[in-house]
């Protein structure tokens, strides 16, 4: 940011004026030059949650990487097509979450310029969904993982000042790219960011995560136009419900730079959480636990925890902490893997789980977004065949739509 001053070649009063712009927000001029567009609707929390309905993740595509370089086909999925998005819409989904990694496509300091071809591809895929009238969520996804080569958005990273400068510049570019999109585009600050330790959060690292969320909100708002009023989505520690709703250090960001057109009594920030509980049913790749819920017929195949009462308590805690205060909650990922290889009745319980999560989300005025990684078969989350644009798990889709009724 400060390199812009050094290159300006001005001095005296002009330098003072430029410094004022830099220190108060580089995009002050953009705000004045980019008014909110006429198609942008100012929706209250209950309205936006209703319109977002049930969502679906375009997983393992734009966040897929090889040695730190994003590639949408790197993890076995074909190139994304408009026809796939149309099929998802036809199935009844109203929102599509598009995880995006940037990693090596971000240039060096001080500008941290995003590769233009990659950012244009992100825009093209966003347009596939946006032009269908769907809500779209885009984020910075794999950049916050300690386990991915090139991961840099690390709460346990050594140089937090540099991380924050890079994060700010990246979100400035993304926000400016999409500034004229209406309220159906939602920005999500990051994904499952934590230090890799699944125990209670490290307070210092949690403070870094809170700082990222605050920087995200400030940066996006200061790009002006529709970004000054659109809904922004932020997670707590590893998108974990206990660590977000409980007393572990999560801090809601202030929204000081938002448009004055938003009534002061209304919020424009959403809270993100993921739900894969119980993990031995939803994610563990073995045949031990293949059934879920009250209708399970084999107690030895059912987890000892994470059933309907636990689900209700988890979502209620988010409702009590955030929804009641005007902050919608998005369950940005949920689902369970295919274990029919071990138990031919597994899909029945996958559907029961999906319906219960969706119905409980609706009960507590949240937006449920199913995780689909594009993989069908053993241990896959797929609901669609992305190569031929067909439905592979109509039963689970039906369950999700029934849960929304």
Known catalytic residues are 192, 333
Q: Is the dihedral of CA 122, 145, 155, 232 positive or negative?
A: positive
Structure tokens belonging to residue 248: 């572990």
DSSP 8-state class, residue 143: G
CB 262 within 8 A of CB 248: no
HSE value, Cβ hemisphere, 13 Å, CA-based, for 102: 27
Of 397, 335, 329, 332, the residue nearest 372 (C-alpha): 335
Residues forming a β-bridge with 57? 97
The Cα–Cα gap between 13 and 352 comes to 67
Residue listed under structure tokens 């559907």: 351
Query: Who's near 49: CB < 8 A, 6+ residues apart?
Result: 328, 365, 366, 367
Residue 235: count of CB within 10 angstroms of its CB: 29
């Amino acid at each position: 940011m400060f390199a812009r001053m050094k290159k300006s070649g001005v001095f005296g009063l002009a330098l003072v004026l430029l410094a004022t712009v830099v220190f108060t927000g580089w995009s002050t001029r953009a705000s004045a030059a980019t008014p909110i567009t006429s198609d942008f609707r100012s929706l209250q929390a209950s309205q936006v949650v209703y319109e977002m309905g049930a969502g679906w993740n375009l997983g393992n595509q734009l966040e897929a990487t090889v040695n730190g370089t994003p590639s949408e086909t790197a993890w076995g999925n074909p190139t994304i097509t408009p026809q796939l998005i149309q099929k998802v819409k036809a199935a009844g989904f109203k929102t599509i979450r598009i995880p995006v990694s940037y990693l090596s496509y971000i240039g060096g300091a001080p500008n941290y310029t995003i590769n233009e071809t990659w950012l244009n591809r992100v825009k093209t895929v966003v347009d596939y969904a946006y032009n269908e009238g769907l809500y779209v969520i885009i984020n910075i996804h794999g950049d916050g993982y300690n386990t991915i080569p090139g991961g840099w958005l690390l709460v346990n990273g050594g140089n937090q000042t540099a991380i924050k400068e890079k994060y700010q510049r990246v979100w400035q570019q993304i926000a400016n790219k999409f500034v004229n999109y209406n309220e159906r585009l939602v920005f999500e600050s990051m994904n499952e960011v934590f230090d890799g330790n699944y125990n209670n959060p490290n307070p210092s690292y949690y403070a870094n995560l809170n700082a990222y969320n605050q920087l995200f909100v400030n940066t996006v708002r200061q790009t002006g136009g529709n970004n000054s009023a659109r809904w922004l989505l932020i997670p707590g520690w590893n998108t974990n419900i206990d660590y977000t709703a409980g007393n572990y250090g999560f801090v809601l960001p202030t929204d000081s730079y938002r448009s004055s057109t938003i009534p002061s009594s209304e919020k424009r920030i959403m809270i993100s959480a993921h739900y894969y509980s119980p993990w031995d049913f939803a994610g563990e790749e073995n045949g031990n636990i293949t059934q879920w819920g009250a209708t399970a017929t084999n107690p030895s195949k059912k987890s000892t925890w994470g059933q309907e009462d636990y689900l209700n308590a988890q979502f209620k805690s988010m409702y009590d902490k955030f929804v009641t205060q005007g902050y919608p909650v998005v369950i940005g990922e949920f689902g369970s893997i295919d274990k029919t290889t071990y138990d031919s009745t597994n899909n029945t319980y996958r559907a029961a789980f999906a319906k219960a999560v969706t119905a409980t989300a609706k009960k507590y005025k949240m937006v449920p977004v199913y995780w689909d990684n594009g993989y069908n078969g053993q241990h896959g989350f797929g609901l669609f065949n992305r190569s031929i644009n067909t439905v592979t798990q109509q039963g689970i889709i039906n369950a999700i739509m029934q849960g929304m009724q």
